[in-house]
Amino acid sequence: CRRALRGVKASFLKLGISLPSRAGSRLQGTAGIPRRSRRRRKSVAIAYEAGQGDGAEPRAARWEPRDWREQLERIREMRRSRDAPVDEMGVQKCYDSSAPPQVMRYQVLLALMLSSQTKDQVTSAAMLRLRRRGLTVDAVLQMDDETLGQIIYPVGFWRNKVKYIKQTTAILKQKYGGDIPSTVEELVQLPGVGPKMAHLAMHIAWDSVAGIAVDTHVHRISNRLKWVKKETKHPEETRVALEDWLPRDLWKEINWLLVGFGQQTCLPVNPRCSQCLNQDICPAAKRL
């Protein structure tokens, strides 16, 4: 059979007819017609951009709360007068702006430590008394605990705060040359300093936005407005939830806005929903 095939091939060559090579095809019925390749072509998956291609599904958009932009604009409108306690006696008003930068930053941190679970009015008065005594790292270290307690009373948990202030001030003197740390990670390692204080210290003392400062007002209002994907139990949970979707250029503003709003309108008990511009689009509003 092979000899006959070679003979046929030789005859075709004498007539000037070329046959396909063995690698390309084999004779099938009529000479010179290649057999269709049995090798399967690899299927290539085509990745479409959102909105392109037949049947392509758009990429999942990042979650964000319903109506949040309109709610935010209305809160800005309600806060336009800047007459809440946080505006007039908040931490940003408690330090000596004419002091050397290092002293100013120390005073910011102390004001934040005193402000925990304390009304702005009480914190402001305590800071004023401290500044009259000379509020520097060295001055506080030279002050005995009893005197410091008498000065800061009646801030909340004043006995614990005396201990934390003395411990933190000693660390600042020994480790940071009398200045305060410039990162959230280092600030929260100081006795009596929590995440909210650390983020506010970064905002006010270092003019750096490292995250959202979440206190009880921000925590409460974020849950009432449904600015968190699911209900949060603690301020730190709320901070993480907010930072996941809120544009970064709003991080510094949001604490100031919501704290004042919480002090004047969205109160912890008996919120003044009838006076709130967001009454019609707030999930927690008490509609009359």
Based on the residue annotation, tell me whether 233 is a catalytic residue of this protein: no
Which position among 196, 226, 230, 286 bears the catalytic label?
196
Contact assessment for residue 156 and residue 117, using Cβ atoms and an 8 Å cutoff: yes
Q: Which two tokens stand for residue 212?
A: 């959202």
* DSSP class of 249: G
Residue 33 CA: distances (Å) to CA of 8, 14, 26, 217: 15, 19, 8, 83
Residue 198: both structure tokens together: 């650390």
Structure tokens of 18? Answer: 């070329």
Please report, to the nearest 10 degrees, the dihedral formed by the alpha carbons of residues 57, 244, 67, 267 taken in order.
160
Encoded tokens for 136: 């520097």
- Helix, strand, coil percentages (3-state) for the chain, rounded to 5, are 50, 0, 50
Helix intervals (H) in 36-142: 68-78, 85-89, 101-115, 120-132, 137-142
- Locate 36 and state its tokens: 């269709």
Q: Smallest Cα–Cα separation from 206: which of 223, 231, 233, 187?
A: 187
Place of tokens 């490292």: 210
* Longest Cα separation, the chain: 120
Q: Which of 228, 244, 178, 205 is nearest to 94 (CA)?
A: 205
Write out the catalytic residue numbers.
196
